[in-house]
């Protein structure tokens, strides 16, 4: 209907129509997206090109910002080529900041009110990946798209542990993740309002790998901020060798112990098992037994046929030791 015909409408209908016009303009103005990618020791060019092709089809303002977090010169030189893409900004930190601080820094660099974060070792699997997020943007909700892994086991057995863990423990549908929405939060693929990120930044005390997303998810829960899970995954293509994966898992356990000492209400399945053993009085015996078996556990986890139950026991033993330190 043209504005010329508004005087023929009842007053109530006219006010309703005008409200809708104003509201739609507000949504158009606020639905602007900053796509943010922390980069470390990885070729981010294929991911950025895929995202760039999708972003160019959007009808809203957007930007892509990549921030290298102290990678070697080889990787910096390779990734500098994305600078020629329209709407793409590539920056390099002077020194490594860590997973939490680099995300906070990206949020500060962003110009738009919605921030889409993803890991650099991701692969786009949906042609409507960005637009699906855009269609769900709201100012009071964090969106999580999820993570998947290749359907087939890697040919190189050295990558089997990471693939097995990811497939069994991380690659869950939105329906599964929505059962525990805050606990299921993962930082590899999510959209957060910039206002929320300013109020709840990632904890910069965590400089090494692990559990910064656990803490962030629980802080969202305590602040009453909703987490909505979508079936909009990225593929984790940057698999690591068993030795590298175990090193990161060990860092994650130490981070979790550090956080738990600061916040006794912080809960994961690992801390729940620890608390259960403590309540039953089995903690001293379990600590000794798991410590004695640590070498056997590592041998299995570095083998061709790793067992995730052994991985859980290995992590529990490390957590017990870290809590005693």
Give, to the nearest 10 degrees, the angle between helix 242-262 and helix 269-280. Answer: 60
pLDDT confidence bin for 2, thresholds 50/70/90:
very low
The total number of residues written for the chain in this structure? 325
Contact 38, 67 (CB under 8 A): yes
Cα(309)–Cα(249) distance, integer angstroms = 14
Within 10 A of 175 (CB to CB), how many other CB atoms are there? 9
Averaged pLDDT for residues 248-270: 89
Helix (H) or strand (E) holding 136: none
119-165 residue pLDDT tens = 999 999 999 999 999 999 999 999 999 999 999 999 999 999 999 99
CB 149 within 8 A of CB 236: yes
What residues contact 180, with CB distance under 8 A and at least 6 apart? none
Angle at which helices 283-292 and 269-280 cross, to 10°: 120
Confidence check: pLDDT of 26 > 80 = no
Rounded mean pLDDT of 14-40? 61
- How large is the angle between the packed helices 242-262 and 308-324, nearest 10 degrees? 40
């Amino acid at each position: 209907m043209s504005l010329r015909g508004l005087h023929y409408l009842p007053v109530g209908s006219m006010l309703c129509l005008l409200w809708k016009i104003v509201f739609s303009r507000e949504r158009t103005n606020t639905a602007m997206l900053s796509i943010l990618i922390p980069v470390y020791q990885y070729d981010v060019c294929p991911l950025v090109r895929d995202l760039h092709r999708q972003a160019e089809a959007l009808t809203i303002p957007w930007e892509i910002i990549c921030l290298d977090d102290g990678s070697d010169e080889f990787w910096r030189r390779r990734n500098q080529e994305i600078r020629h893409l329209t709407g793409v900004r590539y920056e390099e930190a002077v020194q490594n900041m860590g997973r939490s601080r680099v995300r906070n820094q990206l949020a500060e660099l962003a110009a738009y009110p919605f921030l889409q974060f993803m890991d650099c070792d991701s692969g786009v699997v949906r042609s409507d990946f960005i637009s699906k997020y855009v269609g769900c943007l709201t100012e009071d909700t964090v969106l999580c798209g999820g993570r998947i892994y290749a359907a087939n086991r890697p040919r190189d057995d050295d990558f089997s542990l990471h693939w097995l863990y990811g497939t069994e423990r991380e690659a869950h549908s939105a329906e599964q993740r929505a059962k525990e929405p805050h606990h299921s939060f993962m930082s590899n693929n999510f959209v957060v309002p910039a206002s929320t990120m300013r109020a709840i930044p990632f904890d910069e005390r965590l400089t090494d790998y692990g559990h910064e997303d656990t803490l962030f998810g629980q802080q969202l829960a305590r602040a009453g901020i909703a987490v909505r899970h979508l079936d909009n995954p990225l593929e984790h293509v940057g698999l690591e060798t068993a030795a590298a994966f175990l090193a990161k898992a060990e860092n994650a356990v130490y981070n979790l112990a550090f956080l738990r000492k600061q916040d006794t209400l912080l809960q994961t399945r690992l801390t729940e098992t620890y608390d259960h053993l403590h309540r039953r009085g089995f903690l001293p015996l379990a600590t000794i037994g798991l410590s004695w078996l640590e070498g056997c556990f590592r041998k299995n986890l570095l083998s061709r046929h790793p067992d995730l139950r052994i991985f859980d026991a290995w992590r529990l033993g490390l957590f017990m030791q870290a809590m005693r330190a």
